[in-house]
């Protein structure tokens, strides 16, 4: 089965094409094409992602990325203009009526591409920024009409869970072996901070989440206070690393909110505010590069300490055989090191995505989409799919 996956939930326009073959409990994936246009450079200028700006960029980039993914998969074939029925053309125009940038490119490009052998389209429907999600959904709907193939709606967070399976090569296997459960997933991104228990394949129970800011959001906001560009996570990490590599002692103390609470919830807004007050109360002239380094390090320590403590407790309580860590913040090397060290006292195996799959990508949507299609969550060409910014697992 060949799947084309689309991801536009935040600031990456991504398309992946995979070929999937099932063999007993094992499912073998071959990555045919995987491409992405990042909007980071644009959002950096404004210090964050504005939904309408993200939407416009997706609208501009999605067809070029789609063409590039088809070319990488060697299934792009340019042909003389294909004539479609007026009825089909009208349906497509209706579907894309809100995507002005996209529709212009659609008319110039799509009637000149031969339909490749693709069996289904997987698309992220939430959670995320709704205007951004809609671009991917509308493009998926139009493509599904054009190629007469079904759509598989995919939850972005489920994608992050599946992102640990690909290695750095073109092929990988997902083994639906019951022995891997229970699994605990720590999902840490710009919009989410969740601990999820899985006792079986694709059965999710959220046991803890943030009560205010997501951890990635806190990284981004603190970075802004320190005058660092968006996205803030990697920038804070770079500064913190200088302190750690030079073995400098931490001379600042920030709170570890909810570290000792008996639940699996988090709170990062207080930590962020503590940084704000700390900077405000510094004596004149003290907010220099050296101080910024120290703040970055202590902030990263505080956030990672809480994430590690709660995750470790969940792993122990549920006797998890595997811990999956996914989402943009899972790229954080301090978090990776701390969690790996903490899990040494358990029998649980720790699983991270490769660096490029920690952040948003369409490959994870293709994998989740394939398994969703097997559990019959597949929609035909004419059914309406809705973006849901707050979609839960
Ligand atoms: O999963 P993701 O790409 O998008 C969402 O679904 O939100 O996550 C983006 C978030 C941003 O807040 C970014 O600052 C954070 O992940 N991030 C990091 C690192 N790399 C990305 N946070 C901490 N350390 C990093 N190395
Ligand atoms: Zn994400």
pLDDT tens across 156-188, in order?
999 999 999 999 999 999 998 889 999 999 999
Helix, strand or coil for residue 94? helix
**Mean pLDDT, to the nearest integer, of 107-136?**
97
pLDDT tens figures, 39-84 = 988 888 888 889 999 999 999 999 999 999 999 999 999 999 999 9
Within 6 Å (CB) of ligand 1, which residues are found?
A: 10, 189-191, 216, 219-220, 231-234, 237, 327-329, 331-332, 359-360
Residue 250, pLDDT score: 84
Ligand 1 centroid–CA 229 distance in Å is 13
- Please state the pTM of the whole predicted model: 0.96
- What percentage of the chain has pLDDT greater than the value 90? 91
Res. 376: pLDDT tops 80: no
Q: In Å, what is the CA distance from 19 to each residue of 10, 45, 145?
A: 26, 38, 21
Residue 197, pLDDT score: 98
Report the nearest atom of ligand 1 relative to the CA of 326: 1
Report the nearest atom of ligand 1 relative to the CA of 230: 14
Q: pLDDT band at residue 16, thresholds of 50, 70 and 90? A: very high
Q: pLDDT band at residue 382, thresholds of 50, 70 and 90? A: low
Q: pLDDT band at residue 379, thresholds of 50, 70 and 90? A: low
Question: Residue 357: which of 393, 323, 330 has the closest Cα?
Answer: 330
DSSP letters for 8-47: -SSSEEEEEEEEEEEETTEEEEEEEEEEEEE-HHHHHTTT
Ligand 2 centroid–CA 161 distance in Å is 10
State the CB neighbour count (10 A cutoff) for residue 147. Answer: 18
Report the nearest atom of ligand 1 relative to the CA of 189: 8
Contacts of 351 (CB under 8 A, 6+ apart): 164, 322, 323, 324, 325
- For atom 16 of ligand 1, the residue with the nearest CA is 328
Q: How far apart are CA 358 and CA 189, in angstroms?
A: 9
- For atom 14 of ligand 1, the residue with the nearest CA is 233
Q: How far apart are CA 311 and CA 318, in angstroms?
A: 11
Best of 328, 337, 355, 389 to mutate for ligand 1, by most ligand atoms within 8 A of CB? 328
Best of 231, 232, 244, 391 to mutate for ligand 1, by most ligand atoms within 8 A of CB? 231
Question: Residue 289: which of 235, 253, 230 has the closest Cα?
Answer: 235
Which residues have a beta carbon within 5 Å of ligand 2, which is an ion? Answer: 189, 360
CB-neighbour burial class of residue 373 (10 A; exposed 0-12, middle 13-18, buried 19+): buried
- Nearest ligand (C-alpha, residue 216): 1
Question: Residue 82: which of 38, 133, 148 has the closest Cα?
Answer: 148
Q: How far apart are CA 138 and CA 379, in angstroms?
A: 14
Pairing of strands 120-126, 2-7: parallel
């Amino acid at each position: 089965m060949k799947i084309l996956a689309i991801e536009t939930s935040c600031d990456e326009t991504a398309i992946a094409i995979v070929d999937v073959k099932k063999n007993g409990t094992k499912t073998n994936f071959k990555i045919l094409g995987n491409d992405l246009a990042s909007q980071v450079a644009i959002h950096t200028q404004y210090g964050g992602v504005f939904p309408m700006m993200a939407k416009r960029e997706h609208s501009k980039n999605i067809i070029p990325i789609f063409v590039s993914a088809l070319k990488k998969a060697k299934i792009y074939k340019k042909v003389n203009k294909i004539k479609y029925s007026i009825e089909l053309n009208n349906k497509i125009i209706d579907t894309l009526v809100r995507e002005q940038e996209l529709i212009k490119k659609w008319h110039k490009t799509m009637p000149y591409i031969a339909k490749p052998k693709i069996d289904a389209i997987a698309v992220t429907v939430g959670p995320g920024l709704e205007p951004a999600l809609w671009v991917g959904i509308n493009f998926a709907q139009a493509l599904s009409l054009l190629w007469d193939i079904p759509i598989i709606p995919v939850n972005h967070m489920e994608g992050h869970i599946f992102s640990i399976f690909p290695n750095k090569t073109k092929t990988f296997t997902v083994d639906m072996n019951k022995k891997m459960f229970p699994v605990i997933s720590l999902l840490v991104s710009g919009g989410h901070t969740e601990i999820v228990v899985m006792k079986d394949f694709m059965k999710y129970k959220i046991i803890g989440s943030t009560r205010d800011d997501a951890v990635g959001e806190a990284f981004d906001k603190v970075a802004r206070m320190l005058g660092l560009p968006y996205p803030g996570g990697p920038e804070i990490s770079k500064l913190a690393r200088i302190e750690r590599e030079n073995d400098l002692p931490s001379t600042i103390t920030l709170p570890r909110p909810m570290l000792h609470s008996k639940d699996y919830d988090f709170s990062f807004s207080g930590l962020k505010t503590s940084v704000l007050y700390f900077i405000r109360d510094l004596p004149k002239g003290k907010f220099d590069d050296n101080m910024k380094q120290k703040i970055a390090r202590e902030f990263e320590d505080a956030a990672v300490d809480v994430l590690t403590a709660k995750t470790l407790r969940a792993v122990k309580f549920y006797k998890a055989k595997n811990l999956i860590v996914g989402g943009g913040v899972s790229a954080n090397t301090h978090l990776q090191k701390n969690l790996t060290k903490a899990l040494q006292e358990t029998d649980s195996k720790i699983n991270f995505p490769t660096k490029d799959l920690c952040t948003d990508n369409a490959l994870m949507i293709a994998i989740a989409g394939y398994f969703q299609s097997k559990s019959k969550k597949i929609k035909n060409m004419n059914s309406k799919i809705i973006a849901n910014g707050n979609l839960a697992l």
